[in-house]
Amino acid sequence: MDCFKRWVAGALLSVMAGHVAYAGDIVVAVPNPSAILLLPIVAAQGEGYFAEEGVNVSIEALNGSGAVIQALASGQAQIGNPGAGPLLLARDRGVEITNIYRLNPLSSFAIVVPEGAGIASAEGLRGKTIGVGTADGSETAFARSILNEAGLQEGTDYTFLVVGDGGQAAAGFLRGDIDAYAAATNDAAILNARGVKLENITPAKYKTFFGNALAAMNSYLGENRKDVEGFGRAVVKGAKWAADPANREALLAHIGAENPQEVEDKAFANALIDQIIIRQTPFDPAKGHGYQDHEAWVAWQDSLVASGELAKPLDDLSAVYTNDFINFWNGK
């Protein structure tokens, strides 16, 4: 998977050419370089499903959900993979962005502490330093909501420290820079693999908060419906194909084509894939892949209001997401 520098170069070339993308071209901006987190998209790419639908998809890794939303708002990407928290905050600022596909129905985030640390709940983090991947990432908003509910205030009762993802977080624990970490699924897997054994102290109610999804600007959705339909139909095909154990070796090959480092440790890659498939399986298969429940958005909004990140609920929460494409994508 190409890094941020190649994305910037491509964006500059696009601007110089006087356009963002040709019809059928879709840049998918993602908040980190993991291909395993994008199993349906990577599978659809590798199996040729996007080509069958007449769209040309490229994946570009940025640094956090904030950067993804900026790329969408500037027209330098057509579809993005931001978290719910940053998306709601962007809508509150007037950014016309809409969630179109709930990629991770189960939470992708957790607050973790080292085994034996003697911290059993969020209340135990008083006076502690909590590591995060990025200052404006979904995991940060997720952790802040939990800590606020526990009666802890940022800057007074605890401190966030940006330490980066996965391996960088492991170093933070080993140096004693952090006491806990707001981890995404892949971060926790990497930490465990590097010898930092963890305990999950996330309250039960937060474990069902859905993770990063797929979103696009309203203007793009209105002007490019055919491309969006083709993209989503290919993604659903990819999700179903990736979940079939018979396709695992081919799936690993597709992941390796996007990010070779992720399949160097095959056992670890398989373990992480298993966890991601669980998190990306619909709660209710009858509603189809990508379906979004209003109640889940209410839970996210309530947590952001409680933490003070949102001053008040949005005027129309139902406008931040759409299920308009779901039936078509799922062949109904």
CA distance 35 to 56: 17
Residues 6+ apart with CB under 8 A from 268: 189, 193
- pLDDT digits over 194-215, tens only? 788 889 899 988 877 888 999 9
CA distance 312 to 315: 9
pLDDT at 94: 96
- pLDDT digits over 87-127, tens only? 999 999 999 999 999 998 887 788 999 999 999 999 999 99
CA distance 214 to 234: 14
- Residue 14 clears pLDDT 60, i.e. is over it: no
Q: Are 280 and 105 spatial neighbours (Cβ–Cβ below 8 Å)?
A: yes
Q: What is the pLDDT averaged over residues 158-167?
A: 89
**How many helices, marked H, and strands, marked E, lie in the chain?**
14, 10
- pLDDT digits over 305-329, tens only? 988 889 999 999 999 999 999 999 9
pLDDT at 290: 97
Name residue, tokens 């969006």.
228
CA distance 42 to 32: 14
pLDDT at 3: 39
- Residue 19 clears pLDDT 50, i.e. is over it: no
- pLDDT digits over 127-148, tens only? 999 999 888 877 888 899 899 9
* Separation in Å, CA 146 to CA 7, 122, 180: 34, 7, 13
Give the pTM.
0.75
Instruction: Give kind and range of the element (H or E) at residue 240.
Output: helix 225-242
Vertex 241, ends 252 and 166: CA angle to 5°? 40
Structure tokens at 210: 């859905």
pLDDT at 310: 94
Polymer length in residues for the chain? 332
Mean of per-residue pLDDT scores for the chain: 89
* Separation in Å, CA 273 to CA 120, 187, 239: 28, 13, 12
pLDDT at 1: 42
Instruction: Give kind and range of the element (H or E) at residue 60.
Output: strand 56-61
pLDDT at 23: 64
In the chain, helix, strand, coil percent, each to 5?
50, 15, 35
pLDDT at 22: 55
- pLDDT digits over 217-255, tens only? 999 999 999 999 999 999 999 999 999 999 999 999 999
State the pLDDT confidence band at 184, using cuts at 50, 70 and 90.
confident
What percentage of the chain carries pLDDT values higher than 90? 69
CA distance 278 to 103: 11
- Residue 167 clears pLDDT 90, i.e. is over it: no
Question: What are the residue ranges of helices labelled H in 18-164?
Answer: 39-46, 49-52, 65-73, 84-92, 138-149
